[in-house]
Amino acid sequence: MFDAERLEAIRRAAEAWERDVLAPGLQRAPERRDEFVTVSGMPVARLYTPLDLKDHDYLRDLGFPGAFPFTRGLHPTMYRGQLWTMRMFAGYGTAEESNARYKFLLEHGETGLSVAFDFPTLYGYDTDDPEAEGEFGKCGVAVSSLADMETLFDGIPVDRITTSMTINGPAAVIWAMYIVAAERRGIPMQLLGGTIQNDILKEYIAQKSWIFPPRPSLRLIVDTIEFGAQHLPRWNTISISGYHIREAGATAAQELAYTLADGFTYVEACLQRGLGLGGGGHEQRGQEE
């Protein structure tokens, strides 16, 4: 990114700065500690210059917006052309209460919905299960049946807004309920847009709300990805999450490492299923669209 002559000039200038400016300054006001680090324990240098980017390749490492490697955003003009989706994470006890809240939010400018489920739902329990006693409606809405899902989205234009559902262990079942509830209203699944988190690996690492062992859980996730690729072109069938891992005590570097490892695992499982580019579900999805 910088030619060798320019880098050498910067190196000489940095040495002069350290000798003529920094050294006298440290004599007048020594630094408060020997080393400065981020909250994750990563050291922070006193000064950064183009010398720290001497191996940086602009096209390889940064690129352009809307193009690989997507470090500058997914869309070419980002939000100059279209505002981001605004959705408040919400779920209130019963499906009736949450439905009223969602309608209120949409009436006041939200452009999408984000559903918070209570812990019995996250663990796949019915509300009246003895194991769920005392946990109904805490931290989210209770959904135990298709009837609950129909009530939750009654009167909401699910073909015109997108819905995000933070659900992992029972994601396939909850998503199926959402699809069927829409179809019963005459809305075909091809028009549904949204996201299911469906990231079970971070549950084993951090939040702990799993139902099945890892391998059966992973199979279910690939099932949903394959089904979505074939039938729901507007749906994101997985949202790989890192912030739960950070909040469980990981450093930023550990959060990134775990999150990337989870993502690689899902991709490898999909490739094993035959869902690579130009194969399997992608070919079928293209035919249906």
- pTM of the predicted model as reported, rounded to 2 decimal places: 0.80
**Residue 47 vs residues 9, 21, 259: alpha-carbon distances, Å:** 16, 13, 30
Q: Could you give the dihedral angle defined by the CA atoms of residues 251, 252, 253 and 257, in that order, rounded to the nearest 10 degrees? A: 100
Number of Cβ atoms within 10 Å of the Cβ of 222: 19
**Ordered alpha helix ranges (H), the chain:** 4-17, 23-28, 95-107, 119-122, 146-152, 171-184, 201-202, 214-231, 243-247, 252-273, 281-288
pLDDT in tens, 236-262: 999 999 999 999 999 998 999 999 999
Give the domains, in start order, of the chain with CATH numbers: 1-64 (no CATH), 79-288 (3.20.20.240)
Number of Cβ atoms within 10 Å of the Cβ of 202: 22
Report the distance separating Cα 261 and Cα 266, nearest Å: 9
**Residue 199 vs residues 7, 37, 102, 168: alpha-carbon distances, Å:** 45, 31, 24, 6
Strands 89-90 and 193-196: unpaired
Predicted local distance difference test score (pLDDT) of residue 279: 45
In this structure, what token pair is assigned to residue 14?
Answer: 């940095």
DSSP 8-class letter at 43: B
For the chain (289 residues), the mean pLDDT of every run of 10, in chain order, is 89 96 96 91 93 91 92 90 87 95 94 95 94 91 97 97 96 98 97 97 93 95 97 96 93 93 97 76 36
**Residue 207 vs residues 63, 119, 168, 241: alpha-carbon distances, Å:** 35, 11, 10, 11
**Residue 189 vs residues 134, 168, 177, 274: alpha-carbon distances, Å:** 35, 20, 12, 23
pLDDT in tens, 200-236: 999 999 989 999 999 999 999 999 999 999 999 999 9
